[in-house]
Structure 1
Amino acid sequence: MGLLEADVANDVTTADFTIHYNEAGPADGVPVILLHGGGPGATGWSNYNPNIGALADAGLRVIAPDLPGWGGSSEVDFLAYEPLDAVCQLMDALGIAKAAFVGNSMGGHTSIRMAIERPERVSHLITMGAPLQLTPFLFGATGPSEGIKIMYAGYSDYSPEAMKRLVEIMVFDGARFATPELCQQRSDAVAARPQHVANVAKAGIRGPIPKWADLGRLGEITAPALLIHGRDDRVVGFEGTLYASARIPDSRVHIINRCGHWAQLEHADEFNRLVTDFVLHHGTGQQ
């Protein structure tokens, strides 16, 4: 029997937020913070449930929060919210000075901003499908992608049928992942806290990413970076990852074929090996 969410779920109140998070692994392990994406119903557990236990078993201290505005954490005004403050307040509450950041989609973008703007808190940077505000977009049409359009539609229609469309666009193998159980689970998760998606929708183009990274500062990132991307990602094209890798000094790219936007779920075993090896053996890993 695998790890259950009830085994790892916790809550902490900081100066500005109540943050729900999942924690597993030894207290003295290298801290790894897993940041989820911005789709309706996304949480730390839903984005990383096959990764948390595996990384903890490898000796890492794994923290997978629901960022404020999502899941079991505080509601926020996305027009005024600073996600970096929330992340740092969580780290301070848990006694973590510096951590490896692992971020999918919106979480990957937040991780990049952390590495640029608060580098003293970041030991390693690992992203999967992180969006960048490229203008014009490299190698493709401008404007929202097919996946982004479906994701935004899910903020107002979060029926199981809408969640099926969302899951299918997020992965390469929709028949495998878009199960009735998962689609109902995502729908129920949004319905339990409908104000979260209402707040994202109210922010319009600025939700769920209220502030974009300054691409001119990518060269300032000092943390070693591992940039993972699915070759078949229909939400965020892999060209943005190539753009970032050309500018982040200590970076490398891992492109996975037959993989969509959720590399950590579609190729969980490979992802877990990559993250474990990178955090433990690239750079000092000392906190």
Structure 2
Amino acid sequence: MSVAEATAPIREESTSRFVQTKRWKLHYNEAGQGHPVIFLHGTGPGASGWSNFSQNVAPLAKTHRVITLDSPGWGKSDVFDCTGESRNGANAQAVALLMDELGIDKAAIVGNSMGGAATLQFMADYPDRITHAVTMGSGVFAMPNIFSPGGGPPQGFKVIVETYRDPSPENFRRLVEVMVYDSSFVTDELTKERSVNALAVKDHLANWLKWPMGNPKGPYGDLEHLLGKLASTTVPTLMIHGRDDRTVPMETSLRTSAIIPNSRLVIFNRCGHWAQLEHAAEFDRLLLGFLNQYPVA
């Protein structure tokens, strides 16, 4: 790598890549060198790997090979109707297939919301291929009374569904507003980015609405298998949750972290569902420290 390449800004266009896997054509962004760290975005219209994690790529890419993936059915990846299939199982499979094509044996997996749930599923389904697990605003949603301890879907999830049904500019602003604690993050640029991404592939919107969580049995399919695997895993796990998260209650991470033996939970004060955005610098320091605490042989 030349000096010019090493110092050039990391942009979406210059890092954009496609790969044909055995099941889907997947889009991802890649920067840096070192042990691979794969970022998995959350659900919601207009979500993508880059939109969720663009602010975190450069700090991590100084020491790691950073990959932000568009899950099947989002962003520039293939259209995917997961009706009758576990959404988290499919998302975890997509990571494994991506790693196969890129020649990656093991990686650290970092996921926000749905991406965090896919991280936990990957840890259960492919335990020998994950070195570190990190989730933000996530957990095992399917545990009884954990997704909505107050009764009914949380406010953020209601807004997600409403925006899928009516992807209007007004609803996209509501979507961003409910995801953050600090209203200064609700910018015209961010709301427009989500809207443009969502409307670029309208089949993504229609397919999500067929069954928002995928499998009629729930997003995990075999919940007993998942919980059993998580209870016996030795993978170092870091869970981060915003105290003011209006999409996934903080209690979700509290209960999930209690299941995983080698886990820790960090609560960010004055923080909504996007910890990696609202507290980007603190998140980056915490993530790098965690990765360095458990070096890969």
Q: Which amino acid aligns with 2:38?
A: I
Contact persistence 1:115–1:222 (CA under 8 A): no
Distance 2:232 2:12 in 1: 37
> What is the aligned partner in structure 1 of residue 198 from structure 2?
190
Aligned to 2:111: 103
**CA–CA separation in structure 1 for the residues paired with 2:116 and 2:92:** 12
Identity across the alignment (%):
46
Closer, same or farther in 2 for the Cα pair 1:145/1:22, shift >3 Å? same
Q: Of the candidates 15, 19, 22, which is equivalent to residue 8 of structure 1?
A: 15
Q: Where does residue 250 of structure 1 map in the other structure?
A: 262
> RMSD between aligned alpha carbons?
1.9
Q: Quote the residue 1:122 is aligned against.
A: 130
How far the C-alpha of 1:247 sits from its partner, in A, is: 1.3
Structure 1 residues 101 and 60: CA distance shift in structure 2, 3 A:
same
Say which SS state the counterpart of residue 275 (structure 1) adopts. helix
Q: Residue type matched to 2:245 in 1? A: D
> Within 2, Cα distance between the matches of 1:87 and 1:264?
20
From 266, 278, 284, give the equivalent of 2:290: 278
The structural deviation recorded for 1:275 is: 1.0
Match of 1:222 among 234, 252, 255: 234
- Relative distance call for 1:139 and 1:199 in structure 2 (3 A) is closer
* Cα distance in structure 2, aligned partners of 1:191 and 1:109: 25
Q: CA shift at 1:277, angstroms?
A: 1.2
How many residue pairs align between the two structures? 281
Aligned 8 A contact 2:82 2:214 in 1: yes
Structure 2 residue identity aligned to 1:180: D
Aligned CA distance change for structure 1 residues 237 and 229 (closer, same or farther; 3 Å): same
Cα deviation per residue 1:148-197 (whole Å; 9 max; x = unaligned)? 000111112112211100000000012x1111121112111111101001
Shift of 1:126: 0.4
> Is 1:89 the equivalent of 2:100?
no
Q: Does 1:269 align with 2:281?
A: yes
2: CA distance, partners of 1:191 / 1:204: 18
Report the equivalent of 2:178.
169
User: In 1, distance between residues paired with 2:236 and 2:289?
Assistant: 13
1:153 corresponds to: 162
Match of 1:61 in 2: 65
> 2:239, 2:257 within 8 Å by CA — same for their partners in 1?
yes
Kept in 1, the 8 Å contact 2:48–2:69? The answer is yes
Residue 270 of structure 1: how far off its partner (Å): 0.7
Matched with 2:5 is none
Alignment CA distance shift 1:139-1:90 (3 Å)? closer
Unaligned ranges ≥5, structure 2: 1-7
Task: Give yes or no for contact 1:161–1:183 (8 Å, CA) kept in 2.
Answer: no
8 A contact 2:148–2:154 mirrored in 1: no
Matches within 5 A, 1:22-41: 22-26=29-33, 29-41=34-46
Matches of 2:177 and 2:144 in 1, distance apart?
A: 27
SS at 1:62 equivalent:
strand
Is the contact between residue 93 and residue 122 of structure 2 (CA under 8 Å) also seen in structure 1? Answer: no
Instruction: State yes or no: 1:76 paired with 2:80.
Output: yes
Amino acid across the alignment from 1:270: E
